[in-house]
Amino acid sequence: MKNIYGIKFDAMKHDFNLEVASAYAGSALIYEYLDKIGFSELVRRRLGIGKANNATYDMDFIVTSLVASYLIGCERIEHLNEFRQDPLLLAYLGVKKLPDPSLYRKDLRRFGKGGLEDLGRILSILAHPILVRNGRVILDIDTTVGTVYGSQEGAAKGYNPTKHGRLSYRSSLIFDGLSRTCLSAEQWSGNVNGSNDNTIEQLDTTIRRLPHGVTVTAIRSDSDYANPNMYTYLEENEIGYAIKLPRNKRLFKQLEKGILWDTRVCSDGVIIQTGSIQYRAESWDRRRRVVVIRKIYPNDSAQTSLLKDEEYQFIVTNLPWSSYDIWVFYNQRANAENFIKESKLGFNIDSVSTSDFAANKADLLCRMIAYNLFILFGNEALPEELSNITVRTFRRMFVNVPCVIVNHAGRRIMRLPEDYQYITEWQDIRQNLTGQQAA
C-alpha cells in the first residue's frame, strides 16, 4: 500500500507539546447555543439548593457542568476525568479545571425533595418556547428499566426485560409527542409499575407546569399505566386519553356477544379490523369505551379464533373519534419508545452513578435536561436535512473533531482540519446561531 504522506510510523517522534487543543471542536457549537439561551443563568436562578460560601464550586456549576458534559458525550461521572482539561469546556464554564468526579457524587447527594423539584422545573421550562409555539401537547408516558450492579438505595426486583431477577430502578418519563421534549422524569424502585397512583401525581405536576395557554390534546400510554384512578383523574379534568389494556378472558368473553367491525386492507395484505365495545372491568366504577383491534394475516381465515389473542389489542379511551382513528393515533405513541431509545443510547440514562436514591434521580434529571437541550438545539440550529439526527450522529459528525485554538491579530481562532467533510453544514449551523458565516 502506497504511503502518500511519506510517514514511517516506526520512525515517527511523538511529542506532547500541542497547546490549547481539543478533541471536541463541535462542542463549541453547543456551548454557543447554551450561552445564547442563557442556560447557566437559568440554572443559577432556578436551583434553590446551595453550598457553603467558601465552596470552590457552587451547585449551579455542578449541574451546568454535568449537563454540558453529558451533551458532548460523557457517559458516566467517572468519565469526567477525560474532559477535565478540555479548553472549550473550561472556557464555557469559566474555570481552569473541572473538580474530581468524587465531588460530583458528593454534591448529587445534596439533592433533597426541593432540589429535585427545582431540576424538574428546569427540565420543563426549557421546553416552554417550543410548547408555546405549538400551542398544544400530546403527552406520551412510558417507562424504562435500569439494572443496578451494587447496593443502590431503593433498588428492587421487578419486571426486568433484559436482566431477569436483577435489582433495578424504573424511570417514568413523560414526553410531548409533538416536540419530542421530555416534560417530566421520575425514578422509582424496580418493583413499582406505572399503574400506581404516583403516576397520577407525576402527570398532574407535568400539566400544572405547562405554559399558560398550552392545552393537552390527549394522553397516550401502554398497559403498564392502566389504572382506573388514572382514567377518573383524566375524565374529571376533561383530558382525552388512549391507554392500552392488558388482554384478559373477560374482554374476550364480551367479544363473543358480537362487534361491528370497520375493516381495512393494508398494502401488505394484512386485514385491520377495528371496533368498539362498552366494557367494565371488576375494578372500575363505570363502563368505558374500549376500542378493539384485530389483525388478520393473509394466510389466516377470516374466522380467526378468539383464542389467538396475540392478534388483538384493546385500548380504553374517552376520545370521540372513530375506532380506526383511535388505533392510528395510539400507534403514534411508538415515537415515545424512540425518545427513550435516544435518552438511553445518547445520554446513558440507565447509568447509576451513586449508591444514593435521590442522587441517582438528580443525575437522571441532569441527563434528561441535556436531552431537552439537544432537541431544542436541533430545532433552532441544525439545517433542516439534519434536524432529526440522533445526538450520537451529531457527535460523530461535528463534536468529535480535533482543533487548535490560536491567537491571530488579537482574535481567538479555532483551526479545524482543512479537509473536514462537513464544512458547509458547520457553517450553516453557525449561520443559524449567530447570523454570521463561520470564517
Indicate whether 203 belongs to any domain.
no
Query: Structurally, how many domains does the chain consist of?
Result: 1
**Could you report the per-residue pLDDT of 256-308, keeping only the tens digit for each?**
888 889 898 887 778 899 999 999 999 999 999 999 999 888 765 555 444 44
The pLDDT value recorded for residue 67 is 97
Is the pLDDT at 309 greater than 70, yes or no? no
The pLDDT value recorded for residue 438 is 47
Indicate whether 176 belongs to any domain.
no
Percent residues over pLDDT 90 in the chain: 65
Least confident of 123-132, 157-166, 272-281, 310-319: 157-166
Q: How far apart are the first and last CA of the chain?
A: 37
Indicate whether 175 belongs to any domain.
no
The pLDDT value recorded for residue 306 is 46
Interacting residues of 61 by C-beta distance below 8 A, sequence separation 6+: 93, 95
**pLDDT tier for residue 73 given thresholds of 50, 70 and 90:** very high
Indicate whether 265 belongs to any domain.
yes
Indicate whether 251 belongs to any domain.
yes
pTM confidence score: 0.92
**Could you report the per-residue pLDDT of 162-203, keeping only the tens digit for each?**
777 788 888 899 999 999 999 999 998 878 876 677 899 999
**Could you report the per-residue pLDDT of 47-60, keeping only the tens digit for each?**
998 888 888 899 99
Average pLDDT over residues 350-375: 93
Range of the structural domain that residue 273 is part of: 242-324
Between 206 and 9, where is the model more confident?
206
Average pLDDT over residues 102-124: 94
Least confident of 100-104, 153-157, 175-179: 153-157
**pLDDT tier for residue 336 given thresholds of 50, 70 and 90:** confident
Between 217 and 18, where is the model more confident?
217
The pLDDT value recorded for residue 51 is 84
Indicate whether 153 belongs to any domain.
no
Q: What is the mean pLDDT of the chain?
A: 89
Q: Residue 414 is which amino acid?
A: M
Indicate whether 298 belongs to any domain.
yes
Indicate whether 58 belongs to any domain.
no
The pLDDT value recorded for residue 170 is 85
